[in-house]
Amino acid sequence: MPKLGEFELIERYFHREAAPKGLKLGIGDDAAIIEASGPMVVAVDTIVAGIHFPSGHAPDAIGHRALAINLSDVAAMGAEPRWATLALTLPEADSDWLEGFAEGFFALADRFGVALIGGDTTRGALTVTVQVLGDAPAAPLERAGGRVGDAIFVSGTLGDSAAAVELLGRAPPDTSAAGARLIERFSYPEPRVALGRALASVAHAAIDVSDGLMADLGHICEASRCGAKIDIAALPLSPELESALGPERAATLALGGGDDYELCFTAAPEQRPAIRRIARELGLAVSEIGRLVDGDGLTVLRNGVPMAAPAPGYRHF
Ligand code: ADP
Ligand code: MG
């Protein structure tokens, strides 16, 4: 591996010549300068090797994930992502790894029109922090916006990434086609940016499902000072999840498993046709799974009867 200095590394892998609209000063000075066109959203998230992804995970998947989880937060506000900064801590400056990482990062950044405008590069245990800035919509989708009587929706399918983590931990490794699709979903989460933006004028509250539906919907309930009832039969499960782990385990992971980065949102029941139209236009499944109710806490119903719920989502401490 050829030795790579810090500035050479930044220049080679992260500095791009294009000057996007609104960027006054990019990589290379003490700080970047951007022109804000109004209220902005700012989100930052860190991923650590061995905690958020397996050590030895493909570098392009790490680059993708580090940005995707932040775009997902921006999506959950109904905002449009514009800018990113990247703080990279690396055990060594391995050019193959950096090439893969940059490929995964920029493939996603380009798809969403996000420009990398700065960062920091240090040596240490593999840790990636990305910050994203974006344009806030007129009515951001705050967690506190939910109202009693709202219908609760979720995009895509739930539990796939948690299933992938289970499969990745298995010996011998799972080699089924269904397993491969689940692992693909875990490795390359798709931030629901277009959905979030479309929902900004339709939904009351939203959150991205990063820690598990129970935990994340729980945050909406807490912030909105209400409870929720959800129907376990309405949870959207992928055929891959059901075939890999069976219907019982599938439903448990859909309730409690994290890392799916789908949007969970609430809206007045009258908005159902608008939400169906948005889903159709985006070619994205959106499922109604329950409603916000008076009181507090989450109730999971099976055939209309409350059931004992599994433990809430992942917590670091
Ligand atoms: P300083 O010493 O002022 O913190 P650095 O040497 O850390 O400056 O960074 C030099 C320039 O390179 C800055 O513009 C910084 O934003 C940018 N930069 C450093 N690391 C990265 C990275 N991993 N990705 C993108 N830009 C980076
Ligand atoms: Mg620095």
Whether the predicted pLDDT of 312 surpasses 70 = no
Q: What number is the average pLDDT over the span 73-83?
A: 98
Range with lowest mean pLDDT among 13-22, 76-85, 226-235 = 13-22
Ligand nearest to the CA of 10: 1
Report the nearest atom of ligand 1 relative to the CA of 118: 16
CB 208 within 8 A of CB 261: yes
CB 133 within 8 A of CB 42: yes
Q: What number is the average pLDDT over the span 47-59?
A: 93
Confidence of residue 314 (pLDDT cuts 50, 70, 90): low
- Report H helices in the chain: 6-9, 59-76, 95-111, 160-168, 177-187, 193-199, 213-224, 239-256, 272-282
Structure tokens at 40: 């902005």
Task: Look at residue 19 in the predicted model and tell me its pLDDT.
Answer: 82
How far apart are alpha carbons 203 and 148 in whole angstroms? 13
Report the nearest atom of ligand 1 relative to the CA of 121: 20
What does DSSP assign to residue 90?
A: E
Half-sphere exposure of 84 (CA within 13 A, CB side): 31
Distance 113 CA to ligand 1 centre (A): 21
CB 32 within 8 A of CB 85: yes
Distance 113 CA to ligand 2 centre (A): 25
Axis-axis angle for helices 177-187, 239-256 (nearest 10): 40
258-301 confidence digits (pLDDT tens):
999 999 999 999 999 999 999 999 999 999 999 999 999 999 99
Distance 150 CA to ligand 2 centre (A): 46
Q: Which residue shows structure tokens 């959106």? A: 286
Range with lowest mean pLDDT among 34-48, 75-89, 102-116, 158-172 = 158-172
How far apart are alpha carbons 267 and 150 in whole angstroms? 5
CB 279 within 8 A of CB 156: no
Within 6 A (CB) of ligand 1 lie 10, 14, 27-30, 86, 88, 116, 118-121
Give the pairing type, strands 23-25 and 33-34: antiparallel
How far apart are alpha carbons 241 and 179 in whole angstroms? 8
Q: How many residues does the chain have?
A: 317
Amino acid (1-letter code) at residue 58: A
For CA atoms 250, 254, 260, 264, the dihedral sign is positive
CB 216 within 8 A of CB 254: no
Whether the predicted pLDDT of 1 surpasses 50 = no
Range with lowest mean pLDDT among 94-108, 146-160, 172-186 = 172-186
**Bridge partner list, 128:** 47, 88
How far apart are alpha carbons 122 and 126 in whole angstroms? 10
How far apart are alpha carbons 285 and 154 in whole angstroms? 8
pTM assigned to the model? 0.94
Give the residue from 203, 210, 207, 200 showing the smallest Cα distance to 223.
Answer: 207
Beta-carbon count within 10 A of 122 CB: 10
Half-sphere exposure of 83 (CA within 13 A, CB side): 26
CB 286 within 8 A of CB 155: yes
Nearest alpha carbon, ligand 1 atom 21: 119
